[in-house]
Amino acid sequence: MLCLVEQLGLVPYADGLRLQEEKVAARKAGIIPDMLLLLEHPRVITLGRNARRENLLVSPQQLAAEGIDLIETDRGGDVTYHGPGQWVGYPILDLTRHRRDVAWYMRSLEEVLIRVTSDFGVRAARLEGAPGVWVGDRKLAAMGVHLSRWVTSHGFALNVNTDLDYFRWIVPCGLATKGVTSLAALLGHPVEMAAAAERIVAHFGSVFGLVMEEDERSKVECPS
């Protein structure tokens, strides 16, 4: 099966939500094939369906003063941060053509990112009871998804060169005893964003059994 890839560059979070809604509607109607939207967001903190307000450690007014948006979403999970240097992936998949199993889908997304990090020499793993990809007790990739009539939206966020300092304003994913990390922090040097995107696309296709095809109309140059 075909999966169309759109690499969109830096996209405001609200615009990313609207784009996902359009793609989900088109996928339900059979107008488009499966898709993977790959992008970065300007600094933003998002609250999932299960978010607890006490996991936001500063006021919305303080965030606004720092130029950081605060947005409630319909994805699963608690509170997280997105910003430049972090690859955010929004798969728009019709699971009726794959497997109608949310747990399988989540484990498959984790497998994609575990393989990606391995390509950069980082040994990441799952952590029982805590979705995402971990290196020890530090989260390298967060996950939160939404399904509507078995069509997926939202997805994952892989910290590549992310400025981890912004996570101090939240309890990431509601896990007070855990930390966060990035490929750059683990390796001791920046990682080329384009190289990370290439590995994400390749492993996504391999894990889900999809033929990945770039949409050249939307591809942008990725800074290091």
- Annotated domain spans of the chain: 2-214
- Check residue 171 and give its pLDDT: 82
Share of the chain above pLDDT 70, in %: 95
Could you give the CA distance from residue 112 to residue 146 in angstroms, rounded to a whole number? 18
Average pLDDT over residues 187-199: 98
Residue 11 has pLDDT above 90, yes or no: yes
What three-state secondary structure class fits 15?
A: helix
Residue 79 has pLDDT above 50, yes or no: yes
Residue 77 has pLDDT above 90, yes or no: no
Could you give the CA distance from residue 149 to residue 24 in angstroms, rounded to a whole number? 10
Average pLDDT over residues 18-47: 97
- Check residue 216 and give its pLDDT: 67
Contact 155, 143 (CB under 8 A): yes
- Check residue 223 and give its pLDDT: 43
**The domain 2-214 is classified under which CATH number: 3.40.30.10, 1.10.10.10, 3.30.420.40, 3.30.930.10?**
3.30.930.10
- Check residue 220 and give its pLDDT: 46
Residue 93 has pLDDT above 90, yes or no: yes
Residue 172 has pLDDT above 80, yes or no: no
- Flag the least confident range among 14-18, 68-72, 146-150: 68-72
Distances (CA, A) of 223 to 89, 119, 148: 17, 20, 34
User: In this structure, what token pair is assigned to residue 181?
Assistant: 């990390």
Contact 188, 166 (CB under 8 A): no
Average pLDDT over residues 157-176: 87
Distances (CA, A) of 206 to 18, 164, 169, 197, 198: 28, 30, 36, 14, 13
Could you give the CA distance from residue 74 to residue 72 in angstroms, rounded to a whole number? 7
Average pLDDT over residues 98-114: 97
Which of the residue ranges 52-61, 165-174, 179-188 has the most confident prediction, judged by mean pLDDT? 179-188
Catalytic hit among 19, 93, 135, 173: 173
- The answer to whether 173 is a known catalytic residue is yes
Q: What is the DSSP string of 142-167?
A: EEEEEEETTEEEEEEEEESS--GGGG
Average pLDDT over residues 111-134: 95
Going by C-alpha positions, the residue among 184, 201, 165, 32 that lies closest to residue 121 is 184
